[in-house]
Structure 1
Amino acid sequence: MNILIAYATVEGQTRKIAAQLAEIFENRGWQVALQNTAGMMEFILNRPDAAILLAPVHAGRYPTPFTHFVRQEADWLNSVPSAFVSVSLSIVSDNADERQEAEDYPTGLLAETGWQPLAIHHAGGALRLAEYDFFKRWMVRRLSRNAPAGEQKGDREFTDWAALELFASEFANEVGRRKA
């Protein structure tokens, strides 16, 4: 089977998650096209059997080029089994309101674009303090001032890799059932 895994990334965690999904599907014997939506002009596979799109949430929005891509390709995406992975830090928050807000982010994207994926998975993002400029580091530390001291100072990854693998397996099984 062929699958398109297309992603948008801002700080690199979504690209890392997309690469892990690609590896999972390749290990299942699938042909994978892994593409950044920012540079995609056309599909490199003639007719993918399925698609998974991934995008991070920053300041309550998905990247504009990603949203544009989804809007442009919604008809095609709706014609094949597809799934969406929304990446955010809010999804792993201790605050129930923040988690609920993160769970609701895809609703706006789907309403705006007309895309109707079969499945949505929420993945935790990452903090990469060493890569941020002074202002961004200051803002992140200020926003996380209630976090334990060690978590304020260093980089931290919040992606649940086991949950991602389970999501991928369930999606692959569903695609297989639909193609049988």
Structure 2
Amino acid sequence: MKNILLIFSSVHGQTRKITEQLAQQLRSLGNTVVVADIKAPPALDEFDKIIIGASIRHGKHNPLVFEFIERHQALLNQKVNGFFSVSLVARKPQKNTPETNPYMQAFLAKTSWQPQLLQVFGGNLNYQGYNAMDRNIIRFIMWITKGPTDPMTKVEYTDWQKVQEFGQLIHQA
């Protein structure tokens, strides 16, 4: 089987949770999997496959994601590679594919890297887990996009079947 690196950039933990689920699945299929935060990745050359997952915060992916890709793009292109994005906008059926998700499209427009595997997942809405500023910003965005605004709302929009299907794609690639 393969040696796989799953790198995540997470703000409130959902991207990390998705990454850990992918790791568990890929290990159960016989792969060796290392999970790493984008802030402290291991040496990349020992891996056969490298997948990056990143969440959206205030409408953008973490700049560290782009810095990592720019620094390692030549090596990424030599390996099986992929990228997934996690956002609340992906909760909507018309915005839950790489082709229809505005954050994925903005990501692809901002980098010259063209990942072989792409996916988007809905995030987790937990108003009580946010600081006051984030809670108010997200509630305002949810109001605009006709999402839940009750400050007690806690909803996980991640489609775990879709995560499992992405794990199969990684395994088969």
Using the size of structure 2 for normalisation, the TM-score is 0.85
Once the two structures are TM-superposed, the CA of residue 130 in structure 1 deviates from its matched residue by 1.4
- CA distance in structure 1 between the partners assigned to 2:38 and 2:152 by the alignment: 32
The answer on 1:5 being equivalent to 2:15 is: no
Larger Rg: 1
When residues 108 and 32 of structure 1 are mapped into structure 2, their CA distance, relative to the original with a 3 A threshold, is: same
C-alpha RMSD over aligned residues: 2.5
When residues 99 and 138 of structure 1 are mapped into structure 2, their CA distance, relative to the original with a 3 A threshold, is: farther
> 2:118 is aligned with what amino acid?
I
- CA distance in structure 1 between the partners assigned to 2:126 and 2:91 by the alignment: 16
Once the two structures are TM-superposed, the CA of residue 98 in structure 1 deviates from its matched residue by 9.6
Aligned position for 2:64: 65
Aligned position for 1:86: 85
Structure with the bigger percentage of helix: 1
Aligned position for 2:119: 121
8 Å contact kept, 2:7–2:38 = yes
When residues 148 and 38 of structure 1 are mapped into structure 2, their CA distance, relative to the original with a 3 A threshold, is: closer
Equivalences for 1:6-85 in 2 at 5 Å? 6-40=7-41, 42-43=42-43, 46-85=45-84
- CA distance in structure 1 between the partners assigned to 2:147 and 2:107 by the alignment: 30
- Counting matched residue pairs gives 170
Using the size of structure 1 for normalisation, the TM-score is 0.82
When residues 84 and 61 of structure 1 are mapped into structure 2, their CA distance, relative to the original with a 3 A threshold, is: same
Gaps of 5+ in 1: 176-180
- CA distance in structure 1 between the partners assigned to 2:53 and 2:75 by the alignment: 16
3-state SS in 1 of match to 2:101: helix
When residues 148 and 111 of structure 1 are mapped into structure 2, their CA distance, relative to the original with a 3 A threshold, is: closer
Aligned position for 1:139: 137
When residues 98 and 122 of structure 1 are mapped into structure 2, their CA distance, relative to the original with a 3 A threshold, is: closer
3-state SS in 2 of match to 1:38: coil
